[in-house]
Amino acid sequence: MSGIHYQIFGQGQPLVMIHGWAMHSGIWQSFAEQLAQHCQVICVDLPGHGLSEAIEPFSLENISDSLMQALPVQQFSILGWSLGATVAIDMASRYPDRVQSLQVLAGNPLFVESVAWPGVKAEVLDGFAEQLANDVQQTLVRFLGLQVKGLADAKTLLQQIKTAVQAYPAPSLQALQAGLQILKHSDGCVALQQLQCPVSVLMGDRDSLIPLALADSLKRLQPAIQIHLLENAGHVPFLSHPQPLLERVIADL
């Protein structure tokens, strides 16, 4: 697919960055520009998001294949945030000859909780899906609010996110609903367990969407995974805690 939009910042070792649900690559442009002082950063828009063309169906495999076909570099490290982490795990699993290392930021290979795995309750995603059908804009605002919930500067961060997100039209209702289905039903635990490339997981200790218990589950799944907790950070540490996150990302490249 040729309709995937991306921006390139800096030079050196390539790092591909993939944004989360309902967002676009502009959400972390400031962070990407800082990171580009240390490596080449390639920020992509998921299909149907930002300036990228839509795909049908909007499935995990189709998303991964579309990005892989469009990326201008053959080998790279990859950093995926939230839904982007789910995509990044799939890409690393199915294209091991191209992905040199994986960084999971505020992501979970099994996003919805089960008896044996910590995550969000399925009702949370079901609620978003139901509300989307009635009011896309209000649903997105609620979701954005969850990302900064409990942080001291939540109001300022929420405005930053809103401003960035509104720079481009929202994805279609179909893409938003399909993205929630990917989060609800995808299970990347086996894929993550079997990866041969270096894997690091970066978590905010105040993230309302990614439970702290995930750290222990990931270490049991694959002891070689590096877990890094960002103190007092929520779901958007690239906005709330850019410097400690920057140092961590650079160290794990």
14-36 pLDDT, tens per residue?
999 999 999 999 999 999 999 99
What pTM did the predictor assign? Answer: 0.96
- Name the most confidently modeled range: 121-130, 137-146, 147-156: 121-130
Percent of the chain with pLDDT strictly greater than 70: 99
Predicted confidence (pLDDT) at residue 11 exceeds the cutoff of 50: yes
Which residues have CB under 8 Å from 189's CB, separation 6+? 109, 110, 117, 221
Respond yes or no: is residue 252 known to be catalytic. no
Looking at residue 34, the DSSP 8-state letter turns out to be: H
CA gap 6, 183 in Å, rounded: 23
Confidence of residue 1 (pLDDT cuts 50, 70, 90): very low
Respond yes or no: is residue 126 known to be catalytic. no
Predicted confidence (pLDDT) per residue in 64-108, tens digit = 999 999 999 999 999 999 999 999 999 999 999 999 999 999 999
How far CA 213 is from CA of 89, 97, 99, in Å, comes to 20, 31, 27
Respond yes or no: is residue 77 known to be catalytic. no
Q: What's the confidence (pLDDT) of residue 2?
A: 60
Of residues 45, 90, 207, 252, which has the active-site annotation? 207
Of residues 235, 240, 241, 252, which has the active-site annotation? 235
Asked if residue 53 lies in contact with residue 1, where contact means CB atoms within 8 angstroms, the answer is yes
Of residues 25, 64, 66, 82, which has the active-site annotation? 82
The highest-level CATH class for domain 6-251 is: alpha beta
Q: What's the confidence (pLDDT) of residue 75?
A: 97
- Give the residue-averaged pLDDT of 204-214: 95
How far CA 107 is from CA of 70, 152, 173, 250, in Å, comes to 23, 22, 23, 18
